[in-house]
Amino acid sequence: MENIIESFAERLGIEPNVARQSISITCRYFILNSEPIKATGLLSMLPSSLTNLFSTDEKNESKTNLENIPPEEVIEKISNECFNGDKQKGKKVYEEAIKLIKSKIW
């Protein structure tokens, strides 16, 4: 996981702890917005370093519930929790985190 985090942080010019938190928020959104059967498959395709970001309860919930969380809500959460409300930075990190997650499953 650290290599993924370090690389992500370096590429975006952010601290590794901010990268970890941003990827965690985005990964949860990505899985919870998937149909339960797809979420199970996605969880199995992601490296354990990313799936370890989920609690057992979250993993189980993703297998039974579909959420419709809009990307704007995730961007706002990243912006507020990681960048003192800077939505431009939040959006950039969100977009890059989605690319990272997709690259690990496809």
Number of domains composing the chain: 1
pTM score, whole prediction: 0.85
Q: Domain range holding 58?
A: 2-105
Split at pLDDT 50, 70, 90, the class of 1 is low
Split at pLDDT 50, 70, 90, the class of 16 is very high
Residue 37's Cβ-count burial label (10 Å; 0-12, 13-18, 19+) is exposed
User: Which 8-state DSSP code applies to residue 104?
Assistant: H
List, for residues 18-51, the tens digit of each pLDDT value. Answer: 999 999 899 989 888 888 888 888 888 888 878 8
Q: Residue 41's closest CA among 62, 22, 57, 20? A: 62
Residue 67's alpha-carbon distances to 15, 39, 53, 70, 76, in angstroms, are: 30, 11, 18, 9, 17
